[in-house]
Each structure stands twice: as structure tokens, then as C-alpha cells.
Structure 1
Amino acid sequence: MPATQEAGGAAAERLNKKHVLAWASWDWGSAAFNAVMTTFVFTVYLTSDAFGGEAFASEILGYGLAIAGLAIALLAPVTGQRSDTGGRRKLWLGVNSVAVAVLTGLCFFVFPSPGFLFLGVALIALANIFFEFANVNYYAMLTQISTPSTIGKVSGFGWAMGYVGGVVALALVLVGFVLPEAGWFGATADNGLNIRLVAVFCAVWFMVFALPVLFAVPEVPRQPAAASLGFFASYGLLFRRIKAIFRSSPHTIFFLIASAIFRDGLAAVFTFGGVIAAGTFGFSLSQVIVFAIAGNVVAALGAVCGGVLDDRVGPKNVIVWALSGLIVAAAAIFVLGAGDHVFFGNVWTGDTTFWVFGLLLCLFVGPAQSSSRAYLARLAPRGEEGEFFGLYATTGRAVSFLAPSLFALFITVFGEQRYGILGILVVLLAGLLLLLPVKPPAKIQQATTPSA
């Protein structure tokens, strides 16, 4: 038996560090897609005036990502189930990773013209679908490369690698392609060449760092009976299993619901953090980028510390503490606002307010995300992790409209962007309240699910 668990087998006594590093390398590489392509660089390029106007391009991008989200919600559990039962978890992680890399690279052909808007949106939307499918397989591997006593630490390490990888990739993109007049490979802003080359850079970056896990971590065993099911028959098995999970382990379902709510709030912290920094606190683009880099570093430190605590006090305690810290920090940003305040004779400017409490938000996001993944990994029956993380993706997508909708609603009602923070606060608080009655993993009976 290898030092960690055999694929889908029993827990081993010792952690295999080679497996952990190979697994976390995927998180490091995938950060280029998250941080560069979908957050700070390519989608900003895609929604610029060159593509028919910021409002129109943003609208088309929103619809494209909404369609992608629907596809993920409908397909993720079954694709996870089939990769589990067919003994092809690692194979499909590789296939989906390659698909993301290829689609990302094809963004090189999205020229700054309205006629290329739909191509760009289609490529980003499809890449998002395959990225989420890959995430399902990747998360499911957590129990393969960790032991019961280290699952929190390993999950936190993976999240931290993702945050730091995003910082490094973003810094390289800024220095090599965005800021200089003529970047690497002679990339200038003419015809959007520098940003189109960023897409190629991200595709190569992702694929290079995705390779180690595909070679180092063993495949899961095949389950012949379930693997023989047709695609649509897999939905029948899925619904039977959900009913069985609710009967045998209802708190597993309760956790999926609660985590879907608070994970939407966590996503909103990063989605709207830069928007609030610029709109409410007057940060320039360069200041927003510097804050983003600092925030990712702090989030990485939080994920590592939260992972260590997770194994000692349990994931529920870590999530509760992290959500409480997020609520306090977000409330402080809202209450203090962009004005100047005097504390003990010293002037505290709006910039200081956002830097202090904004970084606190980032500090608490990491542990909440990491322990949420570790929480479900402890609940998933051996050999069914992919299906459970597919449900995790689906429940998250099902409520992904909440934080953006409330953010916009509060701004509409009160007429100031600062009030959008209240919308995020409501979602985080709702997630926390729903989580409080859910039992910790050690006290939840593991679900029993019917076979094919």
C-alpha cells in the first residue's frame, strides 16, 4: 500500500508529500484562469468599449456565464458520479484541464472588435464549464492524498497554493504584458496583442502545473455495476442517492444548503472587493491591483492557518469563526465608509479603513473556503467523492444569484455603492445562521447510498 490512501482505499498512516505537492500544483496552475482570465485581465478586456460598449459587452458576458452556470448545475453531479464509478477520476481531471487550457489559448483569436464579442464570451463560458467539471474531480481527490488527521491541513495548503499562484501569475502578466509599452515577445497594445498573448500565457501556465497530479496520484478503482449505466440512467441513480442521503444523513444535505449560501457570499467578497475599492474608496486601477495581490497573500496565510486549526478543532468551528470575522470586518467597512475618523487622537482615513478591514476580509475568506471543502470530504462515502462534490457545485450554482442580486438591490434602494456591502453581509449572515444547527462531521452519520 502506498504511503497515503490507495485510490479509493483505506486511510494510511503517513502522508505522502509527493502526492500532496502534485495535487496542490493543480491549484497553483488553475489560479491563472481564475485571477487573470475571469477576474482582473481578460474579462476586463472583453467588456471594454472596443467590443461594442461596456454595458452591452458586460450584458452579453453576464448571459454567457449564466448559461454556463446552468449547464454546470445540471451536469456536475452526474459527471462526478460517472468519473467515480468508471474509475476515471484522474482521466477526466486531465481531459477537463486540457479543455480549459485549449479554450483559454483560443482566446488569442478574440480581436478587439464587436464582431469577436460572442466568440470571446463563448470561449470563456465553455472554459468555465470545463473548469468546474475539473474542480469536481480535483476536490474529490482530497481524500486520496490526505489522511483523516490531515485533511484540513492539506485542503488549506491547496487553497494557499491557489492564492499564491494567482499572485505570481498576475504579477508576471502585469510586468510582462500589461504595464510596459512593449512587453514580452514584442507585445504591444496594438490590436489587443498584449492581452491576447496573456491568454496563451495562462493556457501554458495552467497546463504545465496541472501535469504533476496526472502522473503522481493513482486512479480510483472501477465500480462495474454503476459504470455500466447509460448517461441518462445516471440521473435516476443520482436522485435515488439524494433521497437516500436525506434519509440516512440529513445533516449532509443541510450542510450542502448552508455552504451554498455562505460560499456565494465568499465569492462576492472577491467579485465586488475591487469594485468597492475603486467606486467607494477612490482607489486607482494600480491601487486595486496592489490590494488584490496583498489580499491574495493574506488569504493564502489564512488558508494555511485555518487548515491547521481544522484538523485540531474541526471544520465547522473554523467556518463559524471565519464567517463571524467576515461579518465584523464587512460591517466595519460599511459603517466607517470612505470618510476620515479620529481614533485616540490619530486621523484614520478611508484608505486606511479599507486596507485594514479589507485585508481582514481576505484573511477570513481562505479558512472558510478551505474548511468547507474539507467538511464535505469528511462526509463523502469512500468512492463517491466526485458525486458529492458534483452536488456541492450544483448547490453553489443554484444560489449564485443571491449575493450579486442583493448587492445590486441595496445600491438601487439607497442610491450609494457602499450599501451594496449590506447585501453581501445579509448572505454571509444567512449562511452562518443556517450552518449553526448543522452537526460537525464527526457527529454526522455517513450517508448510505444505493448501488446501481
Structure 2
Amino acid sequence: MTSTVQKSKVAAWAAWDWGSAAFNAVATTFVFSVYLTSDGLFTDATTANSHLSWGMALAGVVVAILAPVSGRRADDAGRGVRSVGIFSFLVFLCLLGMFFITPDSSLGGTTMLLLGIALLGLGNIFFEFASVNYNGMLNYVSSPKNRGTISGIGWGAGYLGGIVLLLILYYGFINPEVGLFGVTSENGLDVRVSMLIAALWFGVFSLPVLLNPPAGYGKNKDGKSAPVLETYRRVFRSIAGLWRDSRSVVTFLLASAVFRDGLAGVFTFGGVIAASVFGFSNSEVIRFAIAANVVAGVSTIIVGKLDDVMGPKSIISISLLTMIAAALGVFFFYGNGKIIFWSLGLLLCVFVGPAQSASRSMLARMIPPGREGEIFGLYATTGRAVSFMAPASYAVAIMVGEAIYGKGVQATVWGILGIALVLLVGFLLLLPVKTSDMRVDGLDTFDDDTTVPGGAFPG
């Protein structure tokens, strides 16, 4: 029987995922980034998109270099909870700062654009650093028997939280000519106020896990970490050790990096394909985004339970194969109109969350106590290292389509094949991974229920 305290810790942990939508959905995807790149607002759309892409690329490089070291230092000092708190607070400050990014400023549009991109880039860096140790908490709010369920609850909460917040912002401030409290679009006030609300949303929902952290996480440490250069040496030794003794772990890190980039591409380019190929209006794109996030969130929570029955590798494999089939269906039957994108596009979204959640639970199952931050740091690094694959594959596929058909819808729809190809490569890399061989420091956490202490919902 699960105690109330244990349930409360799971709820507190999942609340951070719920609140994280303020940054992922509002700042990065649907609101602030769109605001920055709006044609003629700060500068022309082409220039704004170019600056934004370079800024995000630079942020990705910083994360790739520093994430494992940040996680390892927090592990060594037993300061994982503090690390989540510090970096969450810095994300909160970045969201607050976005309120001051105004197109009508004496500093000039280009300067304000660059400041906005800087806040978004820094926010991405701090968010990734917070996520490293937040993900590391999974082992302490779950047991090996329910790790997939708990991971699914958290990941699903992130999708659902994003929908709730987007609905509040869209219908309360962005869509009406005069929103709540008399807010209008003049000088970007509707978006800027939305960022204030997003900051408060993230701040409030970050607090539960900081005030009620998982039992045992970061305990039995002396509060000290090695110097930065020594930490780098330790991380490199760990990577070498993984390659020598736990090659399946390294293979999984590579496979997951590839297919996670494909999963990200589904949401990144889904709206583009909806508008440019199927003729969705802006309002239709938003309605599809809401529906997509709802089905992704609900399916992630439901399929999380199957993760514990079938195993995470099976969930990932089924999800990837289904998504590849759905993507091919969109490509071959796009001529039948919007119904194809609504049906097969939503089918794609059904499996995005379960694949992401199962990937997190699969990695968590192989990490012994005290190595969570470091290994999830490597997880972040490998993901960033291949983050070019989906955009590049999407672009190259469209180029092939243009070579065959010329510019137009027939060429643009080829982009979906680029995303499907990345998912297929990730699936093929996953095939040789044997969960029975996935050990870190010789501990096989798939078979040993004693590896992780004090999980919630025991048994």
C-alpha cells in the first residue's frame, strides 16, 4: 500500500514537469519565439529566424559541453535538489526578463531582438541543467516495478500543463483584441504579459519538488565537489569505462539521441507541414496543436503503465515503428486533404510522449545511486550533439522533392520523409541494445530491485 507521503512526493516531482510547459511550450515553441521572429516587428522575418537559429545553436553547444560536468558536480556534492532549485530560479528570471523585450524601444529593434534571443538561449541552457538533476530524481520517486508509470505521469503532466497554460494565454490575452485587464497587442503587450504569467506558472509549480524532495536523493555526500578540470577528467573516464564495460549503455545513448531528435522534429515541423501542405489557417494550427498535446499527454500517462509490463525498449520500438508508418501515410495520402493530417498527424502525436517517457525510464533503470546527474548529463549531451539531424534531414528531403517536382506542395511534403528517416535510424540503432547488458559500474538495475532505495508505490 502506498503511503500518502510517497504519493505526495510523486505529485511534487510531476508538478515540475507540469510547470515546465511555461518554458517549453510558451517561450520556446508557440509564443515568445514566434513573437521574436514575426515579420517586421523587430526586423524582417528572414533575419530574425537566422539570428534565432544561431542563438539556439550556441545554447545547444553550451549544454553539450557543460551538462555532464554540471550533473557530475551535483552528484559528487549531493546537491541535486539545490541544482534543480538554482537553475529553475534562473529560468524564472529569464521568463520575467522577456516582459521587457519590446519592439518599440529606444535601443532599436535589432538590439531588442538579440536581447530576446539571449534570454531564450540562456533559458534553454538553465532549463537543460535543471532537467539533468530533475530527471535523476526519477529513481527516488519510483521503484523498478513502476518506473515507467511514474515517468509517464511526469511526462504526460508536461504536455497537459502546456495545454492548460496555452489556453489561458491564448483566450485570455493573445486572441482577443482586448484581453483580460485591458491588455492589447500594442507594443507586444499581450505576449509580454503572457511571459509574466508563464514565469509565475513555472515558479509556482517548481516549488513542490524543492520543498518536498525525494527521500534519499543526494544523501550520504559531504557537500563537496571536485574542481572543474578534475570533474571533466572523471566524466571522460566514466565514458571510457562505459565504452569498455557497458557498451549497450553507450549504444542506447546514441540511439536515443537520434530518435529523440526525430520526435522533436514531429512537433517542430508539424505545424509547418499543416500550414504549407494541408492549408491549415493559423487558428486551425493552434487547434491541432492543442489536440496534439492532449493526445500526447493522455497517451503518455496510459502507456507508462505498459512500460512496466512490456519493458521500455518494447514501448520505444512500437512507438517508433507506428510513427514511421503514420508519417509514410501522410506522405502517400496527403492528396486526400486535411482529414489525413488530422488522423495520421494525431496518431504520430499519440506515440511521441510514450517514446520520450520510456527513453527516460530506460536510462533511469541502468543508473546506480549517486550517478544520476552525470548519466542524465550525458543523455543531454548526446541529444544536443545530434540535434541537427531532424532539421537537416527535413531540409534535404525537401530539396530532393524540389529536384523532382520543383517548388510547391509536392516538394514540401517530402519533408515528412526526412523526419521518418531519422526515426528509422534511431530504431535501427536501438535494435542491438540488450537490456540485460545495460549496466553502469557493474550494476544491473533491470534485474536487481534493490539497486534504488526508497521508491514510491513499492511492489
Confirm or deny a common fold (TM above 0.5). yes
Q: Percent identity?
A: 51
Given candidates 117, 122, 126, the residue that maps to 1:130 is 126
1:431 aligns with 426
Given candidates 22, 36, 55, the residue that maps to 2:12 is 22
Q: Where does 1:322-337 land on structure 2 (aligned, <5 Å)?
A: 322-337=319-334
CA deviation after TM superposition for structure 1 residue 246, in Å:
1.6
CA deviation after TM superposition for structure 1 residue 417, in Å:
1.2
CA deviation after TM superposition for structure 1 residue 448, in Å:
4.4
SS of equivalent to 2:413: helix
- Listed one character per residue, the Cα deviations across residues 375-403 of structure 1 (whole Å, up to 9, x for unaligned) are 00001121101100000000000000001
- Listed one character per residue, the Cα deviations across residues 388-444 of structure 1 (whole Å, up to 9, x for unaligned) are 00000000000000010010111122122111111101100000000011012x443
Question: Are positions 1:202 and 2:198 aligned together?
Answer: yes
CA deviation after TM superposition for structure 1 residue 187, in Å:
1.1
1:272 aligns with 269
2:249 aligns with 252
Q: Distance in 1 between matches of 2:5 and 2:370?
A: 19
Q: Is the 8 A contact 2:248 2:437 kept in 1?
A: no
Seen in structure 2, the aligned counterparts of structure 1 residues 122 and 228 have a Cα distance that, compared at 3 Å, is closer
Q: Distance in 2 between matches of 1:222 and 1:79?
A: 19
SS of equivalent to 2:17: helix
Which range moves more in the overlay, 59-68 or 240-249? 240-249
2:79 aligns with 88
Q: Where does 1:129-278 land on structure 2 (aligned, <5 Å)?
A: 129-217=125-213, 218=215, 219-224=217-222, 227-278=224-275
Question: Are positions 1:318 and 2:315 aligned together?
Answer: yes
Seen in structure 2, the aligned counterparts of structure 1 residues 76 and 222 have a Cα distance that, compared at 3 Å, is farther
Question: Are positions 1:447 and 2:441 aligned together?
Answer: yes
Given candidates 346, 352, 368, the residue that maps to 2:355 is 368
- Amino acid in structure 1 at the alignment position of 2:10: V
Seen in structure 2, the aligned counterparts of structure 1 residues 192 and 41 have a Cα distance that, compared at 3 Å, is same
Superposed CA RMSD in Å reads 1.6
2:33 aligns with 43
TM-score (norm 2): 0.91
2:292 aligns with 295
Which range moves more in the overlay, 97-106 or 14-23? 14-23
Question: Are positions 1:377 and 2:368 aligned together?
Answer: no
CA deviation after TM superposition for structure 1 residue 233, in Å:
1.0
Question: Are positions 1:419 and 2:406 aligned together?
Answer: no
- Amino acid in structure 2 at the alignment position of 1:419: W
Q: Distance in 1 between matches of 2:234 and 2:28?
A: 34
Q: Distance in 2 between matches of 1:444 and 1:159?
A: 23
Structure 1 segments unaligned to the other structure (5+ residues): 5-13, 341-349
Question: Are positions 1:285 and 2:282 aligned together?
Answer: yes
1:59 aligns with 50
Q: Distance in 2 between matches of 1:186 and 1:380?
A: 51
Q: Distance in 2 between matches of 1:447 and 1:417?
A: 47
SS of equivalent to 2:369: coil
Q: Distance in 1 between matches of 2:32 and 2:228?
A: 35
2:115 aligns with 119
TM-score (norm 1): 0.92
**Runs of at least 4 residues off by over 4 Å:** none
Structure 2 segments unaligned to the other structure (5+ residues): 104-108, 403-410, 444-459
- Listed one character per residue, the Cα deviations across residues 125-146 of structure 1 (whole Å, up to 9, x for unaligned) are 0000000001101100000111
CA deviation after TM superposition for structure 1 residue 223, in Å:
3.4
